[in-house]
Amino acid sequence: MARYLTSVGMEVHAELLTRSKMFCRCEVGFGGEPNTRVCPVCLGLPGALPVPNRVAIEMVLRTALALNCQIAYDSVFHRKNYFYPDLPKGFQVSQYGETNPLGYYGTLDIPAADGGTKTVRIRRVHLEEDTGKLMHLPGGGSGVDYNRAGVPLMEIVTDFPPDITTPDEARDYLQQLRLVLLYLGVCDGKMEQGSMRCEPNISIRPEGSETYGTKTELKNLNSFRSVQMGVEYETERQSQVIESGGRVVQETRGWNESTQSSFAMRTKESEQDYRYFPCPDLVPMHFEEASIERLRATIPELPLAKQRRYQGEFGLSEYDAGVLVGDQSWAGFFEEAVGQGGDPKAVCNWMNGDLLRLLNETGQVALAGGQAVAHGHGTPATVSKVTPAHIVDLVRLVGSGQINSKTAKTLLDDAFSSGDMPSRLVEAKGLTQISDDGFIKETVAQVIAENPGPVEQYKSGKQGVIGFLVGQVMKSSQGRANPTMVQDEMRRQLGE
Amino acid sequence: MLTQLTAAETAAKLRSREVGAVEVAQAHLDRIARLDPEFKAFLTVHPERTLAEAEAAQKRIDAGEAGPLTGVPIAIKDNVSTEGVPTTCASNVLKGYVPPYDATVVSRLREAGLVSLGKTNLDEFAMGTSGENSAFQVTKNPWGRDLVPGGSSSGSAAAVAGELAPLSLGSDTGGSIRMPAALCGIVGYKPTYGRVSRYGLVAFGSSLDQIGPFGRTVEDAALLAEAVSGYDPLDSTSLDVPPVSTEALKDGNVRGLRIALPRQFMGEAIQSGVREALEAALDVLRREGAEVSEIDLPSVAVGVTTYYIIAPAEASSNLARFDGIRYGGQVEGDGHIGVVASTRGGLFGHEVKLRIMVGTYALSAGYYDAYYNRAQQVRAVMAAEFETAFQEFDLVVSPASPIVAFPVGGLSQDPLALKLLDLCTIPANMGGFPSLSIPCGYADDLPVGMLLNGPVGQDERLLQAAYAIERALPWGYRRPPMP
C-alpha cells in the first residue's frame, strides 16, 4: 500500500458573544422556546432592513488582528443567494472576495511535536449572519426555529495549500483557535452547543505527488476529539477507496459520533452559484487606521506565546504551562500570584494540583483580583474564596519550613471552605511545623524504643523500613514534625 | 366640497374648527364608497380604523396639539408595511399577509396625526409603468376610465387625482411616483435617496427605492414629505439630516432660475403634444425671468438599459424571501424546493418572474462583470453627468412621461415600449437626487407632467423652485372630468 499525505483545510464558524444579533436588537442566547428571540428583521419580513452591529464588527477586527491578518480598511457585506428553509430572506449576508473580508492573509501558531511552534496560514476572517435551525416536530413534519437566525457569525478559513497535515494538527489548530477566541472574549467556544463549529476539508495524495486529491468536507463534529477522529477516519477511508481502485467523490459527509464513522450527506457535483453581490441595504464600511490601532492595543498576549513564556521564564513543563494558559483567568490567577512574590513552580504545582481538584469538585472558578467571571450565555459560576494571595501565603509557609506539605494540603482545604488566610489558620490552630531539636530527638528515641522489630530489621540491612519509623514519628507529632529533620535524626540514632 | 380641498386648506379648516376630522374622514370614505368601485384605486379600506384615527386626531386638535397635517386623510401604497392591515404588494404571493409592524413612514404619519384611509393598488411589487400589472385589479385614470393611471403607484396617484384622498404615499424605483403623477395630472415627488426611511417599504431595487408623496399642489407634497422624512436608525442607508423643511417654500420665484433642458429628453421618443406643452411652459418661465439652456447628457441614452439590469438584479435577491414557507400564499409541491418552485411559479405574476429571471442571470457567475458590474459603472457615469450639470444649473427639466395617459391594454403587447417610457425618470434613481413631476400643460385634454430634477440633498431648493413654477404656469392643476 502506497503512503499517503493528508491535507486538511479548516473552516471554523464562531458565534460572537454580542448581546444582540448582527442586524437587529434581538437578544442572542442558547436554547429557549423556538421563535421567541425574533423580530421583523431577523425573520426577513417584507420591508424590514438590517442595521449592522458595531460590536460584532469590532470583535471580528480584533480577531483578525490577533491572527496577524491584513485588515480591509474598506469592506462591504455581500448577499449570498440560495434557498433553504432556515434562511429567512433567501440570502445570507456575508462577505465575499479576496481582500474584502474584514481580515485576510493571517497566521495562527500551533504547538509542534518537537516542542516548538508551527505556523498555520489563515486565508480570511469574515463576518456573516447565522441561519435558523430546522427541527423535526414530534407530530411529524418539520419546523424552523429562527432564534439563531441573524446571530453574528465569524468565519475563519485556513489558506490553501493546507498547512495542516495530521489529525493531531487539526485538533491542535482548533484548540489554539478556540483559546485565542476565548482570550479575546469574542466567542464562548462551546463546540457541543454549536457556538463554535468546525468543518475540515480533507484530501489525501500519494507521497511525492504535487497534485492535491479530491476533498471531502466533514460536518457535525462537536468536540476536539471528534475533529481528530474524523480527520483520521476520512484519511483512512479515502486511502481505502483509492487502494480498491475507486475515486474519492467531492461531497459533504456527516460524522456519526456513536459509530465513529462518516456518512455521505450531499454530493457537490457542481459548484453552486451564490450570485454574490454587495448588499444594497448596507453602506460600505470604512475604518481609520487610528481606530484599528486602538483595537490592536486591546489584543492580549495569546495563549501559545504565554505558554512558551512560562516554560522559558519560569521553567515550567509544557504540560503545566499548558494547563495554566488553558483558561485565561487561570493564567491571570497564576500571574498575579507570581507578581505577589510566589515561587512560580510552587504556585503552579498548588494551582494545577490541589486547587484545581477542589475547584472541579465544587464547580467553582478561581479569579485574580479585578477579573470578571468569563461571560458566556450559561449560568455564571461561583467564585472561589481562594485568591492568589492565599496561594502565595501557602507557598511561603511551606518554603520557609513553617509547615510541611501534608499540613499545607489540609490548610488549603480549610482556606477553600473558610476563605481564611493559611498563615492565620496556622496561628489559630497551632499548626506550625516543629523543628525543635529536643522534641524531635525525644520523639525519635521513643519510636525506636517502641518498635524493636522494625529497628532490628533495619539493622539487619532492610533500609527501607526507615520510612515506617519516620511515619510513626510524624503520626505521633500529628504531622507537624519537620520531616527532613526527623529523617536525619532517625538515621543518626539508628546508626549509633 | 371637503374632498376638493388641498391638504393645506383642510388642515387650516380643521385648526380653525370650521370642520371636524371625523367629518373630513367621512367625506372621503363616502366618496371612496361611491367612486372607487369605478376607479379601483384601493386594495383595502378600513372605515372603522379611519374613523377611530380621525377621532383621535380631533382630540389632538381640540387639545391644541395639532401639527401641520393633523386630521388630514391619507392613502398608502400597498407595498408599505402597516401593522394589522394587509400589505399585499398587489401580489398573490402576499395575499393574506398582515404585517406585525409599521413602516417608519407609517409611524411618522401616526405621530403627525394623519388619518389613514387604506392601502392603494400598484403594479405587482412596484414593477410596472402603466399600473396594469396588479394581480388584483387595474386602477383607472380619473381623466378617462379607459386610460391607465401610470405606475407603479397607480392607486396612490389615482386616489389623489380622483379626490378620494388629498394626500398619498407612493414609492419610486425608476419613476413609480412621477410617472403616474404626470399621467394623472398631480404633483409627485421622489426625495433624495435616504431622506425618507425605507424601513417597512417592501424592497424592489434597494439602492433605487424611495418613498415619496403625492398631492394636488407642491405645498401639499412638501408638507407630507416634511412629516415622513428625516433620519431613521432602522435604515442604514438613511441620511443623518433633518426632515425636509417647508419653511422657505413660498419665498422663491422663477426669476434668475437656471434651467437646463437636456436634448436627449426632447427627441423622437417624446410625443409631439407633450413636447409642445413643455416648450410652452418653458416659454412662460423664460418670460418670467428664468434662464433655459439646452445641454447634453449623453449617458441617459443607456439609462433604461442600465436600469433594467440593476433593478432586476436587486429584485431577484429581494424577492427571494417569498418562498411560501413563513407567510403569504403557498402552493403545494414535492419537498422544500418543490414548494418554493410551485409557490413562486404559481403566485408571482409574469412581469415579476421576468425581472427575477433577468436579475438572476445578470448576477450569475461569468455574467456578473459584463452586466451588473458594467451597469454600476454606467450608473456612476450618469450620476456624475448630472452632478456636473447641477454645478451650473438649479434644475434639469424634461417631460416626466414621454406620452400622455394611454388606453388600458394599449401598450401591454409591447413591453419594451412600456419600459422605454421610464427614460426621463430613471436618472434620479440612479443618481439618488430629488425629482418631482408637476402638471405643466395639457395635450389632447390630458395632463402633461414637467419633471424637475435638483442636486442631491437640495430637496428644499427643488420644492421651492417647483412652488414658484407652479405659481408662474397658467396651465397647472386642473380637476379631471368627474363627479
- B213 three-state secondary structure: strand
Note the pLDDT of residue A39: 97
CB A331 within 8 A of CB A325: yes
Taking residue A480's Cβ as centre, other Cβ atoms within 10 Å add up to 17
Residues 224-263 of B with CB under 8 A from A: 233-237
Which ipTM was obtained for this model?
Answer: 0.95
A50-72 mean pLDDT: 98
B306 CB contacts (<8 Å, ≥6 apart)? B375, B378, B379, B382, B426, B430
Rounded to whole angstroms, the Cα distance separating A207 from A118 reads: 21
Identify the CA nearest to A278 among candidates A91, A63, A39: A91
Element (H, E) at A314: helix A303-314
Q: Which of A49, A273, A283 sits opposite B364 (nearest CB)?
A: A273
Give the number of domains in chain B. Answer: 1
pLDDT at A374 over 60: no
Exposed/middle/buried for residue B233 (C-beta within 10 Å: 0-12, 13-18, 19+): exposed
- What's the pLDDT band for B256 if we cut at 50, 70, 90? very high
* Residues B199, A52: C-beta atoms closer than 8 Å: no
pLDDT at B263 over 60: yes
* Residues B317, A91: C-beta atoms closer than 8 Å: yes
pLDDT at A111 over 70: yes
pLDDT at A380 over 70: no
Total H helices, total E strands in chain A? 16, 18
Q: Which chain A residues have a beta carbon less than 8 Å from that of B313?
A: 277
Q: Which chain A residues have a beta carbon less than 8 Å from that of B372?
A: 277
User: DSSP per residue over B166-212, as a string?
Assistant: SEEEEEESSSTTHHHHHHHTSEEEEPPTTSB--TTBPPSSTTT-EEE
Q: Which chain B residues have a beta carbon less than 8 Å from that of A45?
A: 81, 99-101, 327
Q: In this predicted structure, which of A17-21, A369-373, A404-408, B310-314 has the lowest mean pLDDT?
A: A369-373
Q: Which chain B residues have a beta carbon less than 8 Å from that of A46?
A: 81, 87, 89, 94, 97, 99, 202-203, 321-322, 327
Looking at chain A, the domain(s) classified CATH 1.10.10.410 span 437-493
- What's the pLDDT band for A206 if we cut at 50, 70, 90? very high
A70-71 and A103-111 strand pairing: antiparallel
B319 to chain A nearest CA, in Å? 8
Shortest CA distance from A52: residue in chain B: B236
A482 DSSP assignment: -
Give A463-483 pLDDT, tens digit per residue: 888 889 888 888 888 778 888
pLDDT at B445 over 70: yes
A43 to chain B nearest CA, in Å? 9
Q: Is A76 on the interface with B (CB under 8 A)?
A: no
Rounded to whole angstroms, the Cα distance separating A32 from B6 reads: 53
Q: Is A284 on the interface with B (CB under 8 A)?
A: no
Total H helices, total E strands in chain B? 15, 11
A408 CB contacts (<8 Å, ≥6 apart)? A394, A397, A398, A422
Note the pLDDT of residue A480: 81
Note the pLDDT of residue A373: 54
A196-206 and A4-15 strand pairing: antiparallel
Assigned C-alpha cell, B405: 395617459
pLDDT at A370 over 70: no
Give B451-471 pLDDT, tens digit per residue: 999 999 999 999 999 999 999
pLDDT at A1 over 60: no
* Residues B360, A282: C-beta atoms closer than 8 Å: no
A31-58 mean pLDDT: 96
Identify the CA nearest to A66 among candidates A309, A290, A299, A303: A299
Residues 7-46 of A with CB under 8 A from B: 40, 43-46
Q: Is A73 on the interface with B (CB under 8 A)?
A: no
CATH number at residue B453: 3.90.1300.10
| Category of B310 on φ-ψ map: left (φ > 0), alpha (ψ -120 to 50) or beta | alpha
Give B4-57 pLDDT, tens digit per residue: 999 999 999 999 999 999 999 999 999 999 999 999 999 999 999 999 999 999
Note the pLDDT of residue A436: 84
* Interface probe, candidates A281, A282, A283, A285, chain B, greatest B C-beta count within 10 A: A281
Shortest CA distance from B205: residue in chain A: A280
Q: Which long-range contacts (CB under 8 A, 24 or more apart) does A111-118 make?
A: A111/A172, A111/A176, A111/A304, A111/A307, A111/A318, A113/A168, A115/A318, A117/A304, A117/A308, A118/A163, A118/A169
pLDDT at A177 over 80: yes
Note the pLDDT of residue A142: 85
Mean pLDDT of chain B: 97
More confident residue, A456 or A23: A23
Give A117-156 pLDDT, tens digit per residue: 999 999 999 999 999 999 888 888 889 999 999 999 999 9
- What's the pLDDT band for A404 if we cut at 50, 70, 90? confident
B154-169 mean pLDDT: 98
Note the pLDDT of residue B310: 98
Domain that holds residue B379: 1-483
Mean pLDDT of chain A: 92
- What's the pLDDT band for B174 if we cut at 50, 70, 90? very high
Identify any residues that bridge with A143 across adjacent strands, giving them in sequence order: A135
Assigned C-alpha cell, B364: 450569475
Give B320-365 pLDDT, tens digit per residue: 999 999 999 899 999 889 999 999 999 999 999 999 999 999 999 8
Q: Which residues of B are catalytic?
A: 77, 152, 176
Q: Which chain A residues have a beta carbon less than 8 Å from that of B89?
A: 46
Identify any residues that bridge with B292 across adjacent strands, giving them in sequence order: B259
Note the pLDDT of residue A382: 86
pLDDT at B384 over 70: yes
* Residues B364, A85: C-beta atoms closer than 8 Å: no
* Residues B363, A277: C-beta atoms closer than 8 Å: yes
B396-414 mean pLDDT: 95
Q: Is B380 on the interface with A (CB under 8 A)?
A: no
Note the pLDDT of residue A271: 72
Q: Is A80 on the interface with B (CB under 8 A)?
A: no
B392 to chain A nearest CA, in Å? 29
CA dist A45 to A42, A241, B202, B322, B437, Å?
Answer: 8, 47, 9, 9, 32
pLDDT at A375 over 60: no
Q: What percent of chain A has pLDDT over 70?
A: 97
Q: Is A96 on the interface with B (CB under 8 A)?
A: no
B140 DSSP assignment: P
Note the pLDDT of residue B449: 98
CATH topology of domain A437-493: Arc Repressor Mutant, subunit A (1.10.10)
Global pTM value: 0.91
Note the pLDDT of residue A379: 60
* Interface probe, candidates B240, B323, B368, chain A, greatest A C-beta count within 10 A: B323
A11 DSSP assignment: E
